[in-house]
Structure formats: structure tokens, C-alpha cells
């Protein structure tokens, strides 16, 4: 197994491990954006696929990952590294001793917290007020009896009736359009329904159509329409009878 050919699929990089190292060394890739833990997981998955332990590959990988971690750690504290480089050997030794002592205190504090967690981890605390705490009594604001009486009188007053007059539909009488169509047919033998009622409202047009059907039922008119939604043409039936009688007589 060649570690440098390990294929990586990270958020900041995608490609072989060898190319990642090259970009990092040339400062073309910010090492702070590289997830080293994801690289370790990719290597472990590759080992699991081979179903055998490659000690040489593991050793090479440990060296490369440790170098990456060192570079990443130095990149996180660039100013501090520059300050340590400017110190004299004795001052640097004192600074190192101080940091080791601080690290020891932090490690002891972490161990103490771990012991406390192990000892107190099975205890649960009550969330809420203590059972013997005095109950807080709500304080009401001063009330005005007159305002309360006025509010009750307002609630007792019956609401005004809601008018539904605007919702009522007023239909004109059908006889009005019966007389209108008969008057038109006395002057003309034929007319278009749309031209005759085009200026009326939709309700009036509906009533006019009912009047037209009533005339058709009585046999006073004939209705023609060449196609759906085509103009509706109305003609007198006596005109059709005269035309057919003249045609037969000829």
C-alpha cells in the first residue's frame, strides 16, 4: 500500500495524499482548513479494505500525519513562535519550564474534574423552586368599580343586526325581456343575441337568455349557433315557414 497515493475527499481538498503534501509545502493550501482527522479515517478505511496490517505503510503514514499536525499547530500560533525564536537560550528554558508547570496544573485540574464527575455523575438535581419556598401571591392593581360596571353594561348590550341587503340579488322579470325580444322581431326578422344584450349586466344577460328559451319553447323563435361559443342568432319562425313554403311552391 502506497500512502502517498491515498485518495482523499475533504471539504478543502480532493485528490491524492501526495498532492496535498505538495500544496501545503508550497503554501498553496491553508493547512488550517485541512481536516487531519478525516485523513486518518480515510487511511483506516483503506486498511480495512485490504484486511491485513501493513506496518510499513502505517509507519510512513504516522510520520506524515505527525508532520502535518506539527505544521498545523505552528500555524495556529505564528506570533508566539516568532517570540520564542527571539529569546535567549536561558530565557527560552525558563519560558518552557513555566509552560510545563502550567500544563501540569491544567492536567491536575482535569483529573480532579474527572474524579468529581465519576463521584457525582449519578446524582440528579431538582429543576424548579424549592418545595418549602413561600408561594408568591399575585398583586392585583387597584380596580375601579365604575369601569367594571361600564364594561359589563357594554357586554350586555345586544349587537346591532347585520344588514345583508348588499348580498341580495335582484333579478329583473323575465316578461321584460320577452316583450323586448318580441318588439325587436317585429322590426327585424333576425338579430344576434350577444349584440342585443352586450351592454347588460351578467344577471340581466342570464334572465334574457331564460326569456329566449321561453320564446323557443313557445315556438315563436328559432335559435341557431354554428359552433360552441359562436354568436347566437335568433329568427322568427313565421319567416322560416314562409321561406320553406315559397321553396316548395317553386
Output the pLDDT for position 247. 36
Report the C-alpha gap between 57 and 46 in whole angstroms. 11
The three-point CA angle 62-65-71 to 5° equals 140
Whether 177 and 191 have beta carbons less than 8 Å apart is answered as no
Are 193 and 212 in contact by the 8 Å Cβ rule? The answer is yes
Within its chain, how far is the Cα of 29 from the centroid? 36
pLDDT of residue 4: 65
What's the Cα-to-Cα distance from 24 to each of 7, 28, 67, 154, rounded to whole Å? 16, 6, 11, 80
Residue whose entry in the numeric block shows the C-alpha cell 321561453: 214
Grid-cell match 408561594, residue found: 135
Region label for 51, one of left (φ > 0), alpha (ψ between -120 and 50) or beta (otherwise): left
Domain 174-249 has CATH 2.40.30.10: no
Q: Residue 200 in contact with residue 210, Cβ under 8 Å?
A: no
pLDDT confidence of residue 200: 85
Tell me how crowded residue 185 is: count the other CB atoms within 10 A of its CB.
Answer: 20
- The widest CA-to-CA distance across the chain, in whole angstroms, is 140
| Domain locations along the chain | 3-76, 87-115, 174-249
Cβ contacts of residue 38 below 8 Å, gap of 6+?
Answer: 8, 10
Interatomic CA distance for residues 220 and 222, integer angstroms: 7
What's the pLDDT score for residue 245? 39
pLDDT at 77: 63
Averaged in consecutive runs of 10 residues, what is the pLDDT profile of the chain (250 residues)? 73 81 78 82 82 77 81 67 61 69 83 85 68 74 85 88 74 86 87 87 87 89 88 80 41
128 alpha-carbon distance from chain centroid: 37
Please report the pLDDT score of residue 11 as a whole number: 79
pLDDT at 86: 64
pLDDT at 81: 54
Separation CA 21–CA 72 (nearest Å): 12
How many Cβ atoms from other residues are within 10 Å of residue 221's Cβ?
Answer: 21
Amino acid at each position: 500500500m502506497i500512502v502517498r497515493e491515498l485518495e482523499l475527499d475533504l471539504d478543502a481538498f480532493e485528490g491524492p495524499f501526495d498532492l496535498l503534501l505538495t500544496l501545503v509545502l508550497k503554501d498553496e493550501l491553508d493547512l488550517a482548513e485541512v481536516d487531519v482527522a478525516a485523513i486518518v479515517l480515510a487511511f483506516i478505511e483503506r486498511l480495512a479494505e485490504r484486511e491485513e496490517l501493513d506496518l510499513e505503510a502505517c509507519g510512513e503514514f504516522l510520520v506524515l500525519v505527525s508532520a502535518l499536525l506539527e505544521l498545523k499547530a505552528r500555524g495556529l500560533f505564528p506570533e508566539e513562535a516568532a517570540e520564542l525564536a527571539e529569546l535567549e537560550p536561558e530565557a527560552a528554558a525558563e519560558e518552557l519550564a513555566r509552560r510545563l508547570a502550567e500544563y501540569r496544573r491544567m492536567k491536575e485540574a482535569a483529573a480532579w474534574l474527572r474524579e468529581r464527575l465519576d463521584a457525582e455523575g449519578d446524582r440528579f438535581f431538582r429543576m424548579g423552586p424549592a418545595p418549602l419556598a413561600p408561594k408568591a401571591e399575585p398583586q392585583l392593581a387597584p380596580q375601579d368599580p365604575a369601569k367594571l360596571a361600564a364594561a359589563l353594561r357594554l357586554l350586555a348590550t345586544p349587537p346591532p343586526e347585520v344588514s345583508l341587503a348588499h348580498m341580495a340579488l335582484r333579478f329583473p322579470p323575465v316578461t321584460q325581456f320577452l316583450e323586448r325580444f318580441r318588439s325587436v322581431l317585429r322590426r327585424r326578422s333576425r338579430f344576434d343575441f350577444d349584440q342585443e344584450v352586450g351592454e347588460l349586466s351578467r344577471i340581466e344577460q342570464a334572465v334574457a337568455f331564460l326569456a329566449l328559451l321561453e320564446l323557443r319553447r313557445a315556438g315563436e323563435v328559432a335559435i341557431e349557433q354554428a359552433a360552441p361559443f359562436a354568436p347566437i342568432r335568433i329568427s322568427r319562425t313565421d319567416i322560416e315557414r314562409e321561406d320553406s313554403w315559397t321553396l316548395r311552391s317553386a
